[in-house]
Structure 1
Amino acid sequence: MSERPPVSRPVRIGLLGCADIARRRTLPAILAEPAAELVAVAARDTNKAKVYAKEFGGEVVRDYEALLARPDVEAVYVPLPAGLHHEWIMRALDVGKHALVEKPLTTRYADTAEVLALAGARGLTLMENLTFLRHGLHSTVANLVTAGEIGELRAVHGVFGFPPLNPGDIRYRPDLGGGALLDVGVYPLSTARLFLRPDLEVVGATRTEDPEHGVDVAGGALLCSPDGRTAQIDFGFQHGYRCEYTLWGSQGSIFVDRAFTPPPTWRPTVRLKRQHDVQELVLPPEDQFATTLREFVTAVRTGGERAGVAERSRTLAGLVDEVRERARTLRAGQGLPGRGEDLIRRHG
């Protein structure tokens, strides 16, 4: 877990876009963090911006350009649709603002490389808000693997999926960077990278396309590392809810449920199985959004960890592009509309 930065002067943050994830998770984390302060709020819908400002503070600004022009805004939080990230990250960096951006950082490797290069050249912090990576749960799992609790790690299987979203959801819009790979596939992909290191190759993939919306609503991929270890990932918007991964070793396995989006009050359970011996380790609750925000404001003040954070985002973007390039496209079947969003709210 990142340490709390000294509160000499809070990082002054502007909100670019009033997304639901901002209201549910990130803005409460900003409100609770002494080293951060929300000073400005901008949205396409001014009435929505007023609601967010009333709840979390900050001055309502007429549009995104006006917010970026404010001298009292040091950093921006960008929960806009993925297809708009590249443009607004570039604009923010161009005027000297640090940026915390909802995942994925951008929708293509080339765009991700461009924004990371600009941030590095300007000495600015640019962080992808893929918060599960900062939850202490995964450090605990990594320590178990390092300690040899399951022998040699052989394979990783990650799954994230839920039933169809409401028909008007922006994740069904290709022009806004919609689709299951960018929304949920990045979680098991990041898990594969986390435990098998970055030199992974996508050796096969599928994507199931919804012809009505023109986006992928499901998919899977097989990856391998140079030493012969493998990862299998599955994801989508047309499934019963699953949010988990399994690490399979030469002498046992580790299973983690609610792995990617646990609520801040959730006590994660790590299930360690060796032959007929099964242990369950129950860990303390943790707010991964608060941990990520703390890491962000610390980096803004100190400049620390920028290279490692950038490399994680760059590698993930490369894997996403590889999945797209190698995927065989399938046709979606009929689903039940509008249940996925309810499950997302219920589970984190």
Structure 2
Amino acid sequence: MTGQGKVKWGVLGVANIAVKKVIPAMQLGRDGSIVAIASRDLGKAHAAARALDIPKAYGSYEELLADPEIEAIYNPLPNHLHVPWSIKAAEAGKHVLCEKPISLTVAEAKTLLAAQQRTGVKIGEAFMVCTHPQWLRTRELVRSGHIGTLKTIMGAFSYFNRDPGNVRNVAQWGGGGLMDIGCYPITTSRFIFGEEPTRVMGLIERDPEFKVDRLASAILDFPSGQSIFTCSTQMTPYQRMQFLGTTGRIEIEIPFNAPPDRPTRLFIDDGRDVFGGGITTETLPVCDQYTIQGDAFSRAIRGDGDVPVSMDSAIANMAVIEAVFRSAESGKWEKP
């Protein structure tokens, strides 16, 4: 399905991330417009449509997918519904931007890839970080040799949430920290190294009540170096990513939940001393990574460039996540 002008988007569900972050940001974009939202509760759909000034509200996902005006779908449903509804959207001829993680398993993600190949629509994973200027700048600095040869990436990402009703604490819905936030240090490590890890080691602690992973740490062994990270759903809220090379270091202050209302900062250290004497701060202008992501995807639909995160990349990321889980069980290195 191709057209002219702004790409017309529909949204499946009224997830928090959609109504609070992604929809308002995409509405500020130049290349797409949100024309419909659906919920299995028509009242919720109408409320979201009124609050966000969206023209159409539907009481089922099927009705939205049947709307011929809609060209693309944003799918922020719980993890276990990502693939089933993205496949239904593709089969309805709609392009799909699906929230991360793309699926619950590699095998499931491959069924979505098959649907994409069968239908010819564009499908991508919503890792908005891969379009944020702070990440593009970090990659540029690393690739230009600014910190010598990149050897190690270190990351941490955590928050505290023990709400039993929250989807992140429901095991059968793909809950847990590795799927929700551990996927970020994995995808960004792959993004910055420009490689895939050859083997991974994982350690996991599970919540005794919810059975989801509440603390996970991993080592990813890349051809060029190593990435290590810890993520937790029951720790103090924190996030940071560091990139250590042979002659310098880069630190991203707020790597994942980059604020849309103030500048972001990179700390670039020439390594002259351990007291920070060699640190310079690079400030990147205010932007909203969800606006950038939406516009980039819309342009790809119109034939201008590729979707920011392809299905191939999404499957490769899921393979690493799976390998971390396997390693935590086996106690051995596992190959993605």
State the TM-score, normalized to the length of structure 1.
Answer: 0.88
Identity %: 29
Match of 1:324?
325
Q: How far apart are the structure 1 equivalents of 2:136 and 2:73?
A: 28
Once the two structures are TM-superposed, the CA of residue 134 in structure 1 deviates from its matched residue by 0.6
Among candidates 201, 204, 229, match of residue 204 of structure 1: 201
Among candidates 87, 92, 95, match of residue 89 of structure 2: 92
* Unpaired stretches in structure 1, ≥5 consecutive residues: 1-6, 331-348
Once the two structures are TM-superposed, the CA of residue 212 in structure 1 deviates from its matched residue by 0.7
Q: Spell out the pairing of 1:169-248 with structure 2 (5 A cutoff).
A: 169-227=166-224, 229-248=225-244
Q: Spell out the pairing of 1:156-171 with structure 2 (5 A cutoff).
A: 156-171=153-168
- Taking only aligned residues, the RMSD between alpha carbons, in angstroms, comes to 1.9
Match of 1:15?
11
Q: Which SS does the other structure have where 2:302 is aligned?
A: helix
**Deviations 1:277-322 (Å, cap 9, x if unpaired)?**
1211111121100000001111111173159622221211111111
Q: How far apart are the structure 2 equivalents of 1:22 and 1:306?
A: 19
Is 1:255 matched up with 2:225? no
Do the aligned partners of 1:209 and 1:329 also contact (CA within 8 Å) in 2? Answer: no
Q: Which SS does the other structure have where 1:244 is aligned?
A: strand
* Unpaired stretches in structure 2, ≥5 consecutive residues: 332-336
Q: How far apart are the structure 2 equivalents of 1:159 and 1:295?
A: 28
Once the two structures are TM-superposed, the CA of residue 145 in structure 1 deviates from its matched residue by 1.5
Once the two structures are TM-superposed, the CA of residue 108 in structure 1 deviates from its matched residue by 0.9
Once the two structures are TM-superposed, the CA of residue 208 in structure 1 deviates from its matched residue by 1.2
Is 1:279 matched up with 2:275? no
Among candidates 45, 48, 54, match of residue 52 of structure 1: 48
Once the two structures are TM-superposed, the CA of residue 329 in structure 1 deviates from its matched residue by 9.0
Q: How far apart are the structure 2 equivalents of 1:163 and 1:202?
A: 29
Do the aligned partners of 1:202 and 1:221 also contact (CA within 8 Å) in 2? Answer: no
Do the aligned partners of 2:130 and 2:309 also contact (CA within 8 Å) in 1? Answer: no
**Deviations 1:203-245 (Å, cap 9, x if unpaired)?**
3101111121121111011011234x11101101111122110
Among candidates 116, 120, 131, match of residue 117 of structure 2: 120
Q: Spell out the pairing of 1:76-155 with structure 2 (5 A cutoff).
A: 76-155=73-152
Match of 1:26?
22
**Deviations 1:29-51 (Å, cap 9, x if unpaired)?**
23222432222221122222111
Moved over 3 A (4+): none
Q: How far apart are the structure 2 equivalents of 1:102 and 1:308?
A: 11
Question: Residues 191 and 182 of structure 1: is their aligned pair in 2 closer, same or farther, counting only changes over 3 Å?
Answer: same
Q: How far apart are the structure 2 equivalents of 1:239 and 1:32?
A: 34
Q: How far apart are the structure 1 equivalents of 2:182 and 2:215?
A: 9
**Deviations 1:35-93 (Å, cap 9, x if unpaired)?**
32222221122222111111221312121111111212211111100111111011111
Do the aligned partners of 2:4 and 2:302 also contact (CA within 8 Å) in 1? Answer: no
Q: How far apart are the structure 2 equivalents of 1:317 and 1:294?
A: 25
Do the aligned partners of 2:14 and 2:48 also contact (CA within 8 Å) in 1? Answer: yes
Q: How far apart are the structure 1 equivalents of 2:306 and 2:115?
A: 16
Once the two structures are TM-superposed, the CA of residue 165 in structure 1 deviates from its matched residue by 4.1
Do the aligned partners of 2:164 and 2:210 also contact (CA within 8 Å) in 1? Answer: no
Do the aligned partners of 1:17 and 1:78 also contact (CA within 8 Å) in 2? Answer: yes
Give the residue type in structure 2 aligned to 1:242.
Y
Once the two structures are TM-superposed, the CA of residue 131 in structure 1 deviates from its matched residue by 0.5
